[in-house]
């Protein structure tokens, strides 16, 4: 048995304690009604200060929308024998809102342990990555293991709503932190057995359509322009995007591009017998890398113009998030090969490579020319009610991370 394994196998109390403290922080972005990651970072700093990391560095990204006026990210370093390159394990601090609390069996922001699972918002996304990387690093420190290269745990802000105040800002303003030989692992995508390493992502396009019609009495549609009807007509027209961009790539877990209506609202009508004069319609598009987002937007513009001509409503839209899919990480990249070896050593099988539809911080690294890989063992409860993190999954993650930390070159 590896010298660090006994420590990890006996880490359940530590895992529960970390998850309990982090879940209570409710680290949501302002867009989601939160105050950012300040409380959560302070919790982490207090935890990590007592674990003998060589250095802790906090990065503040200005954001006047939150009480502290910045969005914090945190780097914890275990120095290796060689400082010329680093192994980065990057997890995000922020979480999404709980959603309908009536669908939860527990308080979303109070960690509850039951049958080997820790329930609470953020426990799997992305606190499992935070906790597993801390436990792995703690196992090395406890056993006086000096890694071959520097090991850096990076806990970043603002991943859930676009990374403008997180990794995007860090890569643009603190490029001195990274070099192209670094190994970059992001535990934010996975499967229940850990059989896959993610090496590519789809492009992301979030749109908010603002539809302005004309309010009228419900019995006199001839005197109004029904924004709800226009919104529905636009949604039907945008469904043609599935036909236009129909290419399939079985490398991705959803093998085709998706164009989904999501949030609706924006009108002030509260009674049944009034035709609404305005509505907001939001779309979440995830597009295979074979297609350019500019081409997708050109088709969206055609759909908008067609509905505008047919209904006489005013339709505008804003782009809430756009991430153009970069080149995939090569399956032969050093981080993929060394991670694959660590998985095989600890779990007994060689993982396969694949792509995902969800967006992660890996896209920003790949855009800058860095090889980045994602791997973790997840049951897939992220963003759902009754989200949970499996203690067993966390322990397995920590074992693979510790193996990679101790052997990476």
Give per-residue burial for 363-385: e unless 16+ CB within 10 Å, then b.
Answer: bbbbeeebbbbbbbbbbebbeeb
| Number of neighbours of residue 309 by Cβ within 10 angstroms | 9
What are 217's two structure tokens? 């009495």
Length of the chain: 409
Residues 6+ apart with CB under 8 A from 295: none
* Cα–Cα distance measured from residue 286 to residue 309, given in angstroms and rounded to the nearest whole number: 28
Strand locations in 145-265 (E): 149-156, 183-186, 196-201, 203-212, 216-217, 258-265
36 vs 96, 123, 162, 167, CA distance in Å? 11, 17, 13, 15
Cα 143 versus chain centre, distance: 32
Catalytic residues: 94, 159
Q: Give backbone dihedrals phi and psi of 334, rounded to 5 degrees, phi first.
A: -55, -40
3-state helix, strand, coil in the chain (%, to 5): 35, 25, 40
d(CA 75, CA 201): 25
- Give 238's DSSP letter: H
């Amino acid at each position: 048995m590896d010298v660090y394994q006994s420590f990890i196998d006996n880490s359940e109390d530590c895992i529960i304690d970390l998850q309990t403290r982090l879940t209570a922080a409710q680290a949501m972005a302002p867009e989601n009604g939160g105050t950012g990651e300040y409380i959560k970072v302070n919790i982490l700093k207090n935890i990590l200060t007592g674990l003998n990391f060589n250095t802790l560095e906090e990065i503040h990204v200005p954001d006047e929308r939150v009480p502290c006026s910045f969005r914090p990210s945190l780097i914890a370093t275990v120095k290796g024998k060689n400082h010329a390159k680093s192994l980065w394990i990057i997890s995000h601090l922020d979480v999404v809102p709980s959603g309908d609390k009536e669908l939860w069996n527990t308080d979303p922001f109070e960690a509850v342990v039951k049958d080997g699972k820790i329930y609470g918002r953020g426990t799997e996304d992305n606190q499992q990555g935070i906790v597993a990387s801390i436990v792995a690093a703690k196992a090395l420190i406890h056993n006086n293991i000096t890694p071959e290269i520097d090991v850096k745990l990076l806990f970043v802000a603002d991943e859930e709503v676009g990374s403008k105040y997180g990794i995007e800002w860090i890569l643009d303003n603190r490029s001195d932190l990274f070099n192209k030989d670094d190994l970059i692992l992001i535990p934010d995508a996975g499967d229940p057995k850990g059989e896959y390493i993610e090496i590519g992502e789809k492009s992301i396009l979030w749109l908010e359509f603002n539809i302005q019609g004309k309010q009228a009495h419900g019995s006199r549609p001839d005197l109004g322009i029904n924004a709800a009807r226009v919104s529905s007509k636009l949604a039907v027209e945008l469904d043609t995007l599935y036909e236009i961009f129909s290419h399939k790539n079985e490398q991705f877990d959803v093998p085709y591009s998706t164009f989904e209506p999501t949030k609706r609202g924006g009108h002030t009508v509260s009674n049944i017998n009034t035709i609404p004069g305005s509505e907001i319609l939001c779309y979440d598009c995830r597009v295979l890398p074979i297609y350019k987002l500019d081409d997708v937007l050109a088709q969206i513009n055609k759909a908008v113009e067609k509905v505008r001509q047919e209904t006489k409503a005013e339709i505008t839209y804003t782009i809430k998030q756009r991430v153009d899919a970069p080149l995939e990480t090569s399956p032969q990249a050093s981080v993929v090969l060394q991670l694959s070896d660590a998985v095989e050593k600890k779990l007994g099988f060689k993982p396969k490579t694949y792509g995902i539809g969800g967006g992660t911080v890996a896209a920003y690294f790949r855009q800058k020319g860095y090889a980045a890989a994602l791997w973790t063992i997840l049951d897939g409860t992220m963003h759902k009610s009754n989200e949970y993190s499996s203690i067993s999954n966390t322990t397995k993650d920590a074992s693979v991370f510790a193996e990679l930390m101790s052997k990476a070159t």
